[in-house]
Amino acid sequence: MHPPDSLWWSSINEPTWRPSLQRHLDVDVAIVGGGFTGLWTARELVRRDPLLRIVVLEQSLCGFGASGRNGGWASAFFPVSDSLMIRNFGLDAVHQLHTTLQNSVAALGEAAAGDGIAADFHQGGTLTFARSELQAQRLKSFVTSTRTHEFHEGDLVWLDPGAARERANVADSHGATYSPHCARLQPAHLVRGLADACERQGISIFEGTTVQRLVPAKGNHPAEVITAGGSVHAKYVVRATEGFTPTLPGLRRKVAPIYSLMVATEPLTDEFWQEAGLSNFETFTDDRHLIVYGQRTADNRIAFGGRGAPYHFGSTVEERFDQNPKVFRVLEATLRDFFPSMHGAITHQWGGPLAMPRDQMPSVIVDHESGLAHAGGYTGDGVVLSYVSANALADLITSPQRTTAYTQLPFVGHLGRKWEFEPWRWLGINAGLGLATWADHHESRRGVTSRASHLLDRLLQ
Protein backbone atom coordinates (compact mmCIF):
# COMPACT_ATOMS: atom_id res chain seq x y z
CA MET A 1 0.00 0.00 0.00
CA HIS A 2 1.17 3.53 -0.78
CA PRO A 3 0.79 6.58 1.51
CA PRO A 4 -2.70 8.08 1.38
CA ASP A 5 -3.40 10.73 -1.25
CA SER A 6 -4.68 13.61 0.89
CA LEU A 7 -3.87 17.19 1.82
CA TRP A 8 -2.65 16.01 5.22
CA TRP A 9 -0.18 13.47 3.87
CA SER A 10 1.03 15.76 1.08
CA SER A 11 2.98 17.79 3.65
CA ILE A 12 4.83 14.71 4.90
CA ASN A 13 8.07 13.79 3.18
CA GLU A 14 8.15 10.30 1.68
CA PRO A 15 7.85 8.22 4.86
CA THR A 16 10.33 5.51 5.68
CA TRP A 17 8.45 2.28 6.25
CA ARG A 18 9.09 0.48 9.47
CA PRO A 19 9.94 -3.22 9.05
CA SER A 20 7.21 -5.84 8.82
CA LEU A 21 6.90 -8.66 11.32
CA GLN A 22 8.96 -11.65 10.19
CA ARG A 23 9.33 -13.70 13.38
CA HIS A 24 7.49 -14.88 16.48
CA LEU A 25 7.16 -12.55 19.47
CA ASP A 26 6.07 -12.97 23.09
CA VAL A 27 4.82 -9.72 24.61
CA ASP A 28 2.47 -8.40 27.26
CA VAL A 29 0.19 -6.43 24.92
CA ALA A 30 -0.20 -6.73 21.15
CA ILE A 31 -2.13 -3.92 19.46
CA VAL A 32 -3.62 -4.47 16.02
CA GLY A 33 -3.94 -1.14 14.22
CA GLY A 34 -1.54 1.80 14.07
CA GLY A 35 -4.07 4.62 14.14
CA PHE A 36 -5.14 6.93 16.96
CA THR A 37 -6.75 4.22 19.10
CA GLY A 38 -3.83 1.83 18.83
CA LEU A 39 -1.08 4.40 19.32
CA TRP A 40 -2.78 6.31 22.15
CA THR A 41 -3.40 2.94 23.87
CA ALA A 42 0.27 1.98 23.55
CA ARG A 43 1.31 5.39 24.88
CA GLU A 44 -1.05 5.26 27.86
CA LEU A 45 -0.13 1.68 28.73
CA VAL A 46 3.57 2.41 28.94
CA ARG A 47 2.89 5.58 30.94
CA ARG A 48 1.07 3.43 33.51
CA ASP A 49 3.61 0.60 33.47
CA PRO A 50 6.97 1.32 31.78
CA LEU A 51 7.97 -2.35 32.05
CA LEU A 52 5.22 -3.60 29.70
CA ARG A 53 6.37 -5.21 26.47
CA ILE A 54 4.10 -3.71 23.79
CA VAL A 55 3.96 -4.24 20.04
CA VAL A 56 1.82 -2.41 17.46
CA LEU A 57 0.97 -4.19 14.19
CA GLU A 58 -0.18 -2.05 11.24
CA GLN A 59 -1.19 -3.42 7.84
CA SER A 60 0.08 -0.32 6.01
CA LEU A 61 1.72 2.84 7.39
CA CYS A 62 0.71 4.12 10.81
CA GLY A 63 -2.10 6.59 10.17
CA PHE A 64 -3.07 5.08 6.82
CA GLY A 65 -6.73 4.84 7.84
CA ALA A 66 -9.16 7.40 9.24
CA SER A 67 -6.64 8.71 11.79
CA GLY A 68 -4.49 10.24 9.06
CA ARG A 69 -7.19 11.49 6.69
CA ASN A 70 -10.10 12.76 8.82
CA GLY A 71 -11.47 16.30 9.04
CA GLY A 72 -9.10 17.31 11.82
CA TRP A 73 -11.80 18.05 14.42
CA ALA A 74 -10.76 17.27 17.99
CA SER A 75 -14.27 17.71 19.36
CA ALA A 76 -16.28 16.75 22.44
CA PHE A 77 -19.08 15.45 20.19
CA PHE A 78 -20.58 12.03 20.87
CA PRO A 79 -22.42 10.13 18.13
CA VAL A 80 -25.49 9.22 20.24
CA SER A 81 -27.99 11.93 21.21
CA ASP A 82 -28.15 13.25 24.77
CA SER A 83 -31.82 12.35 25.08
CA LEU A 84 -31.19 8.70 24.22
CA MET A 85 -28.11 8.51 26.44
CA ILE A 86 -30.02 10.02 29.37
CA ARG A 87 -32.88 7.57 28.83
CA ASN A 88 -30.49 4.60 28.81
CA PHE A 89 -27.85 5.63 31.38
CA GLY A 90 -29.22 8.53 33.43
CA LEU A 91 -28.36 12.21 33.65
CA ASP A 92 -25.36 11.83 35.97
CA ALA A 93 -23.63 9.39 33.61
CA VAL A 94 -24.16 11.72 30.65
CA HIS A 95 -22.83 14.69 32.64
CA GLN A 96 -19.71 12.64 33.37
CA LEU A 97 -19.38 11.71 29.69
CA HIS A 98 -19.65 15.35 28.59
CA THR A 99 -17.17 16.52 31.20
CA THR A 100 -14.64 13.86 30.24
CA LEU A 101 -14.92 14.57 26.50
CA GLN A 102 -14.73 18.33 26.99
CA ASN A 103 -11.67 18.10 29.23
CA SER A 104 -10.07 15.65 26.82
CA VAL A 105 -10.00 18.16 23.96
CA ALA A 106 -7.39 20.26 25.77
CA ALA A 107 -5.77 17.17 27.32
CA LEU A 108 -5.16 15.70 23.86
CA GLY A 109 -3.46 18.91 22.74
CA GLU A 110 -1.33 18.97 25.88
CA ALA A 111 -0.37 15.31 25.41
CA ALA A 112 0.72 15.95 21.82
CA ALA A 113 2.71 19.03 22.82
CA GLY A 114 4.31 17.10 25.67
CA ASP A 115 5.50 14.50 23.18
CA GLY A 116 6.92 17.22 20.92
CA ILE A 117 4.31 16.71 18.19
CA ALA A 118 3.57 19.75 16.01
CA ALA A 119 0.02 19.04 14.82
CA ASP A 120 -1.37 22.59 14.30
CA PHE A 121 -3.59 22.13 17.35
CA HIS A 122 -5.73 25.21 18.02
CA GLN A 123 -8.84 25.18 20.21
CA GLY A 124 -11.04 27.80 18.56
CA GLY A 125 -14.34 26.00 19.08
CA THR A 126 -16.94 24.95 16.53
CA LEU A 127 -19.82 26.68 14.74
CA THR A 128 -23.00 24.97 13.52
CA PHE A 129 -24.78 27.34 11.15
CA ALA A 130 -28.48 27.59 10.49
CA ARG A 131 -28.80 28.05 6.73
CA SER A 132 -32.60 28.32 6.87
CA GLU A 133 -35.25 29.37 9.35
CA LEU A 134 -36.11 25.70 9.88
CA GLN A 135 -32.51 24.90 10.80
CA ALA A 136 -32.50 27.91 13.15
CA GLN A 137 -35.58 26.58 14.94
CA ARG A 138 -33.96 23.17 15.36
CA LEU A 139 -30.69 24.58 16.66
CA LYS A 140 -32.40 26.94 19.11
CA SER A 141 -34.46 24.03 20.36
CA PHE A 142 -31.28 22.00 20.82
CA VAL A 143 -29.67 24.77 22.87
CA THR A 144 -32.81 24.95 25.02
CA SER A 145 -32.71 21.18 25.59
CA THR A 146 -29.14 21.41 26.89
CA ARG A 147 -30.37 23.89 29.50
CA THR A 148 -33.20 21.50 30.40
CA HIS A 149 -30.61 18.78 30.94
CA GLU A 150 -28.70 21.16 33.25
CA PHE A 151 -25.57 21.30 31.12
CA HIS A 152 -23.33 24.32 31.63
CA GLU A 153 -24.59 27.34 29.70
CA GLY A 154 -21.18 28.10 28.21
CA ASP A 155 -20.88 24.65 26.62
CA LEU A 156 -23.28 25.60 23.83
CA VAL A 157 -24.65 29.06 23.01
CA TRP A 158 -26.91 30.48 20.30
CA LEU A 159 -25.47 33.29 18.19
CA ASP A 160 -27.94 35.55 16.40
CA PRO A 161 -27.22 36.27 12.70
CA GLY A 162 -25.07 39.31 13.46
CA ALA A 163 -22.98 37.54 16.09
CA ALA A 164 -22.62 34.49 13.83
CA ARG A 165 -21.35 36.69 10.96
CA GLU A 166 -18.71 38.15 13.27
CA ARG A 167 -17.34 34.61 13.59
CA ALA A 168 -17.75 33.55 9.95
CA ASN A 169 -19.49 35.21 7.01
CA VAL A 170 -21.41 32.18 5.75
CA ALA A 171 -24.04 32.72 3.06
CA ASP A 172 -27.72 32.49 4.06
CA SER A 173 -26.85 32.44 7.75
CA HIS A 174 -29.79 32.64 10.13
CA GLY A 175 -27.49 32.32 13.13
CA ALA A 176 -25.35 29.55 14.59
CA THR A 177 -24.57 27.61 17.70
CA TYR A 178 -21.07 27.89 19.16
CA SER A 179 -19.25 25.45 21.42
CA PRO A 180 -15.73 26.08 22.72
CA HIS A 181 -15.05 22.34 23.03
CA CYS A 182 -13.39 21.69 19.67
CA ALA A 183 -9.91 22.16 18.24
CA ARG A 184 -8.58 22.15 14.73
CA LEU A 185 -5.55 19.99 14.03
CA GLN A 186 -3.53 18.31 11.28
CA PRO A 187 -4.37 14.63 11.78
CA ALA A 188 -1.55 13.04 9.76
CA HIS A 189 1.06 15.04 11.67
CA LEU A 190 -0.53 13.95 14.94
CA VAL A 191 -0.70 10.24 14.14
CA ARG A 192 2.80 10.07 12.64
CA GLY A 193 4.14 12.01 15.61
CA LEU A 194 2.41 9.59 17.98
CA ALA A 195 4.06 6.64 16.26
CA ASP A 196 7.49 8.25 16.65
CA ALA A 197 6.77 9.08 20.31
CA CYS A 198 5.72 5.48 21.00
CA GLU A 199 8.96 4.17 19.55
CA ARG A 200 10.95 6.55 21.74
CA GLN A 201 9.22 4.97 24.73
CA GLY A 202 10.38 1.48 23.71
CA ILE A 203 7.22 0.32 21.94
CA SER A 204 7.85 -1.87 18.89
CA ILE A 205 5.92 -0.97 15.72
CA PHE A 206 5.69 -3.18 12.65
CA GLU A 207 4.21 -1.72 9.46
CA GLY A 208 3.25 -3.56 6.30
CA THR A 209 1.99 -6.36 8.55
CA THR A 210 -1.46 -7.69 7.69
CA VAL A 211 -3.15 -9.51 10.54
CA GLN A 212 -4.96 -12.64 9.38
CA ARG A 213 -6.55 -13.87 12.58
CA LEU A 214 -6.98 -13.14 16.29
CA VAL A 215 -7.04 -16.21 18.56
CA PRO A 216 -8.39 -15.99 22.13
CA ALA A 217 -6.48 -17.45 25.06
CA LYS A 218 -7.37 -21.01 25.98
CA GLY A 219 -5.99 -22.95 28.91
CA ASN A 220 -2.25 -22.35 29.14
CA HIS A 221 -2.13 -20.91 25.60
CA PRO A 222 -2.10 -17.09 25.56
CA ALA A 223 -4.01 -14.92 23.13
CA GLU A 224 -2.39 -14.87 19.71
CA VAL A 225 -2.15 -12.67 16.62
CA ILE A 226 -1.42 -14.50 13.39
CA THR A 227 0.14 -12.62 10.46
CA ALA A 228 1.67 -13.72 7.17
CA GLY A 229 5.20 -13.16 8.46
CA GLY A 230 4.97 -14.30 12.06
CA SER A 231 2.82 -14.63 15.14
CA VAL A 232 2.57 -12.83 18.46
CA HIS A 233 1.61 -14.32 21.82
CA ALA A 234 0.33 -11.77 24.33
CA LYS A 235 -1.52 -11.56 27.61
CA TYR A 236 -3.79 -9.05 25.90
CA VAL A 237 -4.54 -8.48 22.21
CA VAL A 238 -6.16 -5.12 21.51
CA ARG A 239 -8.09 -4.72 18.25
CA ALA A 240 -7.99 -1.09 17.12
CA THR A 241 -9.03 -1.51 13.50
CA GLU A 242 -12.06 0.84 13.23
CA GLY A 243 -13.29 1.04 9.57
CA PHE A 244 -11.17 -1.99 8.55
CA THR A 245 -12.73 -4.24 11.22
CA PRO A 246 -15.02 -6.05 8.70
CA THR A 247 -11.93 -7.36 6.87
CA LEU A 248 -11.12 -9.63 9.84
CA PRO A 249 -12.68 -13.11 10.08
CA GLY A 250 -15.98 -13.20 11.95
CA LEU A 251 -16.32 -9.40 12.26
CA ARG A 252 -18.08 -8.46 9.01
CA ARG A 253 -21.26 -7.42 10.86
CA LYS A 254 -19.51 -5.76 13.82
CA VAL A 255 -19.44 -2.28 12.25
CA ALA A 256 -20.39 -0.87 8.87
CA PRO A 257 -17.60 0.85 6.92
CA ILE A 258 -19.21 4.18 5.97
CA TYR A 259 -17.24 6.28 3.50
CA SER A 260 -16.56 9.94 4.23
CA LEU A 261 -14.82 12.03 1.56
CA MET A 262 -12.97 15.36 1.61
CA VAL A 263 -11.73 18.15 -0.64
CA ALA A 264 -9.25 20.96 0.09
CA THR A 265 -8.58 24.28 -1.56
CA GLU A 266 -5.35 25.99 -2.43
CA PRO A 267 -4.19 28.57 0.16
CA LEU A 268 -6.75 31.38 0.03
CA THR A 269 -6.00 35.09 -0.08
CA ASP A 270 -5.90 37.48 2.86
CA GLU A 271 -8.75 39.40 1.21
CA PHE A 272 -10.93 36.31 1.24
CA TRP A 273 -10.20 35.59 4.90
CA GLN A 274 -10.90 39.20 5.90
CA GLU A 275 -14.38 38.71 4.47
CA ALA A 276 -14.93 35.06 5.44
CA GLY A 277 -13.73 35.24 9.04
CA LEU A 278 -12.89 32.09 10.99
CA SER A 279 -10.13 34.23 12.51
CA ASN A 280 -9.91 31.93 15.53
CA PHE A 281 -9.78 28.83 13.31
CA GLU A 282 -13.23 27.64 14.37
CA THR A 283 -14.38 24.43 12.73
CA PHE A 284 -17.74 24.73 10.98
CA THR A 285 -20.77 22.85 9.71
CA ASP A 286 -24.50 23.43 9.34
CA ASP A 287 -27.65 21.62 10.47
CA ARG A 288 -28.36 19.59 7.34
CA HIS A 289 -29.09 15.88 7.72
CA LEU A 290 -26.26 14.69 5.43
CA ILE A 291 -23.21 15.63 7.51
CA VAL A 292 -20.61 18.12 6.27
CA TYR A 293 -17.60 19.51 8.17
CA GLY A 294 -14.87 22.04 7.51
CA GLN A 295 -11.82 23.73 8.96
CA ARG A 296 -9.46 26.60 8.14
CA THR A 297 -6.03 25.04 8.00
CA ALA A 298 -2.79 26.48 9.34
CA ASP A 299 -1.76 27.46 5.80
CA ASN A 300 -5.12 29.17 5.12
CA ARG A 301 -6.82 26.54 3.02
CA ILE A 302 -10.28 25.14 3.64
CA ALA A 303 -10.46 21.39 4.20
CA PHE A 304 -14.06 20.32 3.76
CA GLY A 305 -15.71 16.91 3.90
CA GLY A 306 -18.96 15.05 4.20
CA ARG A 307 -20.95 11.89 3.76
CA GLY A 308 -22.85 10.83 0.67
CA ALA A 309 -20.72 8.04 -0.78
CA PRO A 310 -22.59 4.71 -0.93
CA TYR A 311 -22.13 1.80 1.42
CA HIS A 312 -20.69 -1.16 -0.48
CA PHE A 313 -22.33 -4.59 -0.35
CA GLY A 314 -20.93 -7.02 2.19
CA SER A 315 -19.08 -4.29 4.14
CA THR A 316 -16.45 -4.34 1.40
CA VAL A 317 -13.45 -2.06 1.90
CA GLU A 318 -11.32 -1.30 -1.16
CA GLU A 319 -8.99 1.57 -2.05
CA ARG A 320 -10.93 2.35 -5.21
CA PHE A 321 -13.90 3.41 -3.08
CA ASP A 322 -11.80 6.25 -1.63
CA GLN A 323 -12.46 8.22 -4.83
CA ASN A 324 -15.96 9.25 -5.90
CA PRO A 325 -16.07 12.09 -8.49
CA LYS A 326 -19.79 12.71 -7.97
CA VAL A 327 -19.39 13.19 -4.22
CA PHE A 328 -16.32 15.38 -4.75
CA ARG A 329 -18.33 17.64 -7.07
CA VAL A 330 -21.13 17.91 -4.51
CA LEU A 331 -18.64 18.75 -1.74
CA GLU A 332 -17.02 21.48 -3.83
CA ALA A 333 -20.43 22.94 -4.73
CA THR A 334 -21.50 22.85 -1.08
CA LEU A 335 -18.32 24.60 0.05
CA ARG A 336 -18.75 27.32 -2.57
CA ASP A 337 -22.36 27.68 -1.42
CA PHE A 338 -21.05 28.36 2.10
CA PHE A 339 -18.58 30.96 0.80
CA PRO A 340 -19.69 32.33 -2.62
CA SER A 341 -16.70 34.70 -2.81
CA MET A 342 -14.26 31.80 -2.63
CA HIS A 343 -12.50 31.55 -5.99
CA GLY A 344 -9.62 29.30 -5.04
CA ALA A 345 -9.12 25.99 -6.81
CA ILE A 346 -9.64 22.57 -5.28
CA THR A 347 -6.20 20.95 -5.05
CA HIS A 348 -6.85 17.71 -3.12
CA GLN A 349 -9.59 15.07 -3.04
CA TRP A 350 -9.55 11.99 -0.83
CA GLY A 351 -11.60 9.72 1.41
CA GLY A 352 -12.03 6.38 3.09
CA PRO A 353 -14.11 4.35 5.55
CA LEU A 354 -15.06 5.09 9.12
CA ALA A 355 -16.75 2.63 11.50
CA MET A 356 -20.44 2.87 12.37
CA PRO A 357 -21.93 0.41 14.88
CA ARG A 358 -25.58 -0.60 14.47
CA ASP A 359 -26.64 1.58 17.43
CA GLN A 360 -23.96 4.26 16.73
CA MET A 361 -22.58 3.61 20.22
CA PRO A 362 -18.79 3.32 20.59
CA SER A 363 -17.45 0.49 22.71
CA VAL A 364 -14.45 -0.36 24.86
CA ILE A 365 -14.15 -4.00 25.89
CA VAL A 366 -11.46 -5.93 27.79
CA ASP A 367 -12.15 -9.64 28.26
CA HIS A 368 -9.61 -10.78 30.83
CA GLU A 369 -10.42 -14.46 30.29
CA SER A 370 -9.87 -14.55 26.51
CA GLY A 371 -7.23 -11.83 26.51
CA LEU A 372 -9.04 -10.07 23.67
CA ALA A 373 -9.85 -6.35 23.88
CA HIS A 374 -11.05 -3.69 21.49
CA ALA A 375 -12.12 -0.07 21.19
CA GLY A 376 -13.81 1.81 18.36
CA GLY A 377 -17.07 2.46 16.57
CA TYR A 378 -16.75 6.25 16.72
CA THR A 379 -18.95 7.09 13.67
CA GLY A 380 -16.69 9.97 12.69
CA ASP A 381 -16.09 11.45 16.16
CA GLY A 382 -12.94 9.47 16.82
CA VAL A 383 -10.16 12.04 17.30
CA VAL A 384 -11.01 12.71 20.96
CA LEU A 385 -12.98 9.50 21.55
CA SER A 386 -9.92 7.44 20.58
CA TYR A 387 -7.87 9.28 23.21
CA VAL A 388 -10.55 8.70 25.86
CA SER A 389 -10.99 5.05 24.83
CA ALA A 390 -7.25 4.47 24.97
CA ASN A 391 -7.17 5.75 28.56
CA ALA A 392 -10.05 3.42 29.44
CA LEU A 393 -8.26 0.45 27.84
CA ALA A 394 -5.03 1.27 29.65
CA ASP A 395 -6.83 1.47 33.00
CA LEU A 396 -8.72 -1.78 32.43
CA ILE A 397 -5.57 -3.67 31.39
CA THR A 398 -3.14 -2.37 34.01
CA SER A 399 -5.55 -2.07 36.96
CA PRO A 400 -8.50 -4.40 36.28
CA GLN A 401 -9.81 -4.19 39.85
CA ARG A 402 -9.74 -0.40 40.05
CA THR A 403 -12.57 1.88 38.92
CA THR A 404 -11.51 5.14 37.27
CA ALA A 405 -13.25 8.08 35.64
CA TYR A 406 -12.53 6.48 32.24
CA THR A 407 -13.75 2.98 33.06
CA GLN A 408 -17.07 4.33 34.38
CA LEU A 409 -18.03 5.97 31.07
CA PRO A 410 -21.30 4.56 29.67
CA PHE A 411 -19.80 3.15 26.47
CA VAL A 412 -17.13 1.18 28.34
CA GLY A 413 -18.29 -2.44 28.46
CA HIS A 414 -21.00 -1.77 25.87
CA LEU A 415 -21.84 -4.70 23.60
CA GLY A 416 -23.91 -3.43 20.69
CA ARG A 417 -25.94 -5.67 18.45
CA LYS A 418 -24.61 -6.72 15.07
CA TRP A 419 -25.69 -5.27 11.76
CA GLU A 420 -28.30 -7.16 9.75
CA PHE A 421 -27.31 -9.78 7.20
CA GLU A 422 -27.04 -8.80 3.56
CA PRO A 423 -28.88 -7.66 1.51
CA TRP A 424 -30.74 -5.94 4.36
CA ARG A 425 -27.63 -4.14 5.56
CA TRP A 426 -26.93 -2.75 2.09
CA LEU A 427 -30.55 -1.75 1.57
CA GLY A 428 -30.92 -0.12 4.99
CA ILE A 429 -27.70 1.91 5.03
CA ASN A 430 -28.08 3.21 1.49
CA ALA A 431 -31.75 3.94 2.15
CA GLY A 432 -30.59 6.04 5.09
CA LEU A 433 -28.21 8.00 2.86
CA GLY A 434 -31.02 8.54 0.38
CA LEU A 435 -33.42 9.69 3.09
CA ALA A 436 -30.89 12.21 4.44
CA THR A 437 -30.31 13.61 0.94
CA TRP A 438 -34.04 13.81 0.23
CA ALA A 439 -34.79 15.45 3.59
CA ASP A 440 -32.23 18.17 2.93
CA HIS A 441 -33.59 18.74 -0.59
CA HIS A 442 -37.18 18.91 0.65
CA GLU A 443 -36.37 21.30 3.49
CA SER A 444 -34.36 23.55 1.21
CA ARG A 445 -37.18 23.86 -1.32
CA ARG A 446 -40.21 23.96 0.96
CA GLY A 447 -38.92 25.22 4.28
CA VAL A 448 -40.72 22.57 6.32
CA THR A 449 -39.54 19.41 8.05
CA SER A 450 -39.51 16.44 5.71
CA ARG A 451 -41.16 13.17 6.66
CA ALA A 452 -37.97 11.58 5.35
CA SER A 453 -36.14 12.89 8.43
CA HIS A 454 -38.57 11.04 10.71
CA LEU A 455 -38.08 7.86 8.68
CA LEU A 456 -34.33 8.32 8.98
CA ASP A 457 -34.58 8.55 12.77
CA ARG A 458 -36.62 5.32 12.86
CA LEU A 459 -34.17 3.55 10.56
CA LEU A 460 -31.27 4.31 12.91
CA GLN A 461 -33.01 2.93 15.99
Candidates 168, 95, 105; CA nearest to 131 is: 168
Helix (H, G, I), strand (E, B) or coil at 444: helix
User: Is 306 inside a domain boundary?
Assistant: no
Asked if the structure places residue 212 within a domain, the reply is no
- Total domains present in the chain: 1
| Rounded CA separation 448/461 (Å) | 23
CA distance 6 to 26: 36
Residue 324 lies in a domain: no
Return the pLDDT at 446.
82
Helix (H) or strand (E) holding 398: helix 382-398
Residue 182's H or E segment, with its range, is strand 182-184
Answering whether pTM is above 0.75, one says: yes
* pLDDT in 10s for each residue of the chain, 461 residues: 566 779 999 999 888 899 999 999 999 999 999 999 999 999 999 999 999 999 999 999 999 999 999 999 999 999 999 999 999 999 999 999 999 999 999 999 999 999 999 999 999 999 999 999 999 999 999 999 998 888 888 999 999 999 999 999 999 999 999 999 999 999 999 999 999 999 999 999 999 999 999 999 999 999 999 999 999 999 999 999 999 999 999 999 999 999 999 999 999 999 999 999 999 999 999 999 999 999 999 999 999 999 999 999 999 999 999 999 999 999 999 999 999 999 999 999 999 999 999 999 999 999 999 999 999 999 999 999 999 999 999 999 999 999 999 999 999 999 999 999 999 999 999 999 999 998 888 888 888 776 766 676 766 66
Please say whether the beta carbons of 73 and 182 come within 8 A: yes
Cα separation values, 126 from 71, 176, 425, Å? 13, 10, 33
Predicted pLDDT at 1: 58
Rounded Cα distance between 406 and 394, Å, is: 9
In a domain, 433, yes or no: yes
Range of the domain at 455: 422-461
- Cα separation, 357 vs 380, in Å, equals 11
Question: Does a structural domain hold residue 23?
Answer: no
Q: Is residue 434 in a domain? A: yes
Pairing of strands 223-227, 211-215: antiparallel
Residues 6 or more apart whose CB falls under 8 angstroms from that of 376 comprise 37, 239, 240, 241, 242, 245, 255, 355, 362, 363, 382, 386, 389
152 domain residue, yes or no: no
The answer to whether position 50 is within a domain reads: no
